[in-house]
Structure formats: structure tokens, C-alpha cells
Amino acid sequence: MANTRALNEGDANAMQSPQEYTHSTVWKDLLAVVKIGIVNSNLITTFTGLWLALHFMGKGFLDNLHIVFFALFGSALIIAGSCSLNNYIDRDIDHLMERTKSRPTVTGRMEPKRVLWLGIFLVMIGTLSLLMTTVTAAIIGLIGVFTYVFLYTMWSKRNNTLNTVIGSVSGAVPPVIGWTAVDSNFHVVPLVLFLLMFIWQPPHFLALAMKRAEEYRAAGIPMLPVVHGFGITKRQMVVWVACLLPLPFYLFSLGIPFLVIATLLNIGWLALGLAGFKMKDDLKWAKWMFIYSLNYLTILFVAMVIVTID
């Protein structure tokens, strides 16, 4: 019976149409081109900004589901579109790096022109979606697109070590998009959220750059560890982490529990950063810093939502 079942299963697999296989492959390639992991992680920060705006403005979540939808849908599309354009622009160097050599734009599974037009289309539809909330949200979204595509991907990434800092601007706008989708007026909370995201990114991406230093060197990308070495990179990472310490106190209105959680996270990250000066294995330390940064961001932004649930 077991052999018969295996044979039947084999027949079923053999009978799977090429069209079904193609559809599955195309979908996976599409998700790779839009960098779905980046889209999902940025939606967490977008939602947090939106949630906090509703909280501080005294507006109900269920009463504003249309704003929630258009803000998250629009943010997802402009981020996905920006990542598609990044794939299109970087296709000439992606084959040189282990991390990016299997991208559809490198392997030829997706035509470059299709990726280009996909990116433009997604940004356009995403911007229209954000316009359904506020003009400010749409403008901030376009600022993020411009920074990521032109200032980072097309210019600074290939020319100077400040590329990480410049690219951090685009990564810091999602929570501001979320906030301004509800309230387009200036407020200290979205400013602090922007600063948190902006300052968090250099130590996060420099840790990755240390792990992938030889790949970046082969691709000719002037990341800080490649140009100036691990010593200077480690010092800069610690300085960036230290700059996070005072920021939670500007969000004192979120309550003592949040301040405690955020401060402990900051102290823990700083302690790990300082420990790097004594560790002999720089790559192992960079791996720990990278993992800590991911958990730091998730815990911090989820905590902001939890402490403001009425």
C-alpha cells in the first residue's frame, strides 16, 4: 500500500501542469523583486505611527478603518515600488554579491524593463492611495521614494561611505506617513519616531556591512567597513546607539512602562556595542548586533501599540 501511495503521489506531481509551476515561480520572483520582507517590517512602523496618531488625537480605530487601509496599502505599494526600482538599478552589481546574486533581475527570470515599469506603477498607485488620507502623507511618501531611489541607490551607495546615513532617511519616513495620514499637523511624536528610525538604521546596516564586507568590496560599494575598516565602524555604531538613549523620554506621555522597556533596550544594545571592543571575533559581534537590532525595533514599536491600547 505504501508503494502504491508513493507511486500515486509521484503521478500526481508529474501531472502538475507547467502553468501551475510557472505561476508559483512568478509569484516568488515578484515577492523577491518588491523585497516583501522590507515591506512587511516597514508596515509595522507605519501602523505604529498611525495608531499613535489615532490615540493622541482621540479618534477611534474602528471609526477610521478607511484611513488605516489607504495608509497601509499606499505605504506598502510605494515601498514595494521603491524596492523594485532598486532591483532594476542595481542589476549590474547584484551578481557580485552572494546575498543578491539570485535576484530575478540578475538571473534573467524577470525582464529589467518589466521591473522598472512595475516599480513606477506601484509608486504611482501607492501615492494615489496615500492621497486618499492626506496630501502630507503622500508628499512624505514621495520624499522617501526620492531619497531611496535617487539619493541612496543611484548616487551615494556607489560613491561614499555616507550612503548608510542618507539611506536612513527613507527608512525613517514610514511611521511619519502613518501619523500624517491621520493628522497632518506638526507634533513631537512623529518627529521622535522619525529620529528613532533614522538613528537605529546605521548601526543595524553597518553590522550587516561588516558581515558582508568582502562582498561589498567585490561589488565596489564603499561601505564604511570596506573603506575604513572594522575599528572605525564599531566606534561609529556605538555612537549611533548611544544617541538613542534620550529619545524615549520625549515619549513620556506613553507612560512609565514604555520608558522602562525602551531604556532597558537602549542600555542593552549599548552594552553589547561596548563589549565589541573586547571581543576578538568582530564578525560574531556584528552578527549579535544585527540580531539585537531586529529584536530591538520589533519590541519597541509593538510596545508603543500595547501601552496605548484602551
Residue-wise pLDDT for 209-232, tens only, equals: 999 999 999 999 999 999 999 999
- 21: confidence class by pLDDT, cuts 50, 70, 90: very low
Asked whether the predicted pLDDT for residue 9 surpasses 60, the reply is: no
Q: Among positive and negative, which fits the CA dihedral 251, 254, 260, 266?
A: negative
pTM for this one? 0.90
CA distances from 206 to 199, 202, 240, 287, 293 (A): 12, 6, 11, 11, 11
Q: What's residue 266's pLDDT?
A: 98
Nearest to 200 by CA among 83, 33, 41: 41
Domains and CATH numbers, the chain: 34-306 (1.10.357.140)
| Helix 188-211 and helix 163-172, axial crossing angle in degrees, nearest 10 | 140
CA 93 to chain CA centroid, nearest Å: 21
Share of residues in the chain with pLDDT > 70 (%): 92
Do the beta carbons of residue 120 and residue 81 sit within 8 Å? yes
Asked whether the predicted pLDDT for residue 253 surpasses 70, the reply is: yes
CA distances from 205 to 77, 116, 130, 197, 294 (A): 23, 25, 28, 12, 11
Nearest to 102 by CA among 87, 120, 83: 87
Residue-wise pLDDT for 64-79, tens only, equals: 999 999 999 999 999 9
Q: What's residue 19's pLDDT?
A: 47
